[in-house]
Amino acid sequence: MSFIGAGPGAADLITLRGARRIAEADVVVWAASLVAPECVTEHARPGAELVDSSQIAHEDVLALYRRAADEGLRIARVHSGDPSLWGAVQEQYDAAEEIGLDVEIVPGVSAFGAAAAVAGRELTIPEVAQSVVLTRLEGGKTPMPPGEKLREFARHGTTMAIFLSAARSAQMVAELRAGGYAEDIPVVVAYRTSWPDELTLRCRLDEVEAVCKRHKLWRHTLFLVGPALGASGTRSHLYHPGHFHTFRKPDKAARQALRAARAASRPAP
């Protein structure tokens, strides 16, 4: 059995391995409400059983897994995005193992990476942001663990990818402000990235609520927030002629210049 990340929407963003596992499957279970039909129909073999999981309950899906185990069938369970993020995959994975199936997870392109790509942004700009926080606003259907508050994550001041929060954008903005983000911090608002009706908007933090209301963005919207979204690229030391690694020797003069620049940038003792 394979749990497969279909990617953020566009059918051609599924991985080669994911497409191959769908082609090998006797039964393909997928959520038609979240996964582009082409992700399944373009790869499933003729005669494969296709099951729309959006129409059935978890218990019905487990019954399919048991039948697959009893009949020796290959089964592909197709999730949107990457199964490791808000994919409800762990309970299914554990149940499939208990049933006796050999299980694997095939990763997929996550929406936060796809949104950054469409916006033309790197999320980790040297000397600006070197971390990315993936989270969601507390207070939704799934309780947040103690200590995982949006404002607490915001105190780091780095790049954040905020999922599942568009319906409460005012509360989200208030939490980010409380965590220390300035009113003019750049935000990318990404709706259904890579789908035919995708919408990518750039604004400031103090404009987010109005943008969501204007475009009626209540679902399927991801927010990228942080200073890296407005920063220019800086010279990478990795590709500097004075930098060396296993496969490349440094230019001596460039190496001396790089060392001098690093020493000059250090704070005085």
Residue ranges of domains in the chain = 2-106, 111-230
pLDDT value at residue 251: 73
**Burial track 2-36 (b if 16+ CB lie within 10 A, e otherwise):** bbbbbbbbbbebbbeebbbbbeebbbbbbeeeebb
Q: Of 15-19, 145-149, 234-238, where does mean pLDDT reach its minimum?
A: 234-238
> How high is the pLDDT of residue 262?
67
pLDDT tens, position by position, 66-124: 999 999 999 999 999 999 999 889 999 999 999 999 999 999 999 999 999 999 999 99
Instruction: Give the per-residue pLDDT at 75.
Output: 96
Q: What is the CATH number of domain 2-106?
A: 3.40.1010.10
Q: Please, what is the Cα angle at 196 between 81 and 119, to 5 degrees? A: 65
Q: Which two tokens stand for residue 20?
A: 């191959």
CATH number for domain 111-230, candidates 3.30.1220.10, 3.30.950.10, 3.30.1460.30, 3.40.50.300: 3.30.950.10
Report the chain's terminal Cα–Cα distance, integer Å: 59
Mean pLDDT of the chain: 91
Quote the pTM value: 0.86
Over the stretch 204-262, which tens digit does the pLDDT of each residue have? 999 999 999 999 999 999 999 999 999 986 656 566 676 666 677 777 787 777 677 66
Q: State the pLDDT at residue 96.
A: 94
Please give the pLDDT value at position 143.
82
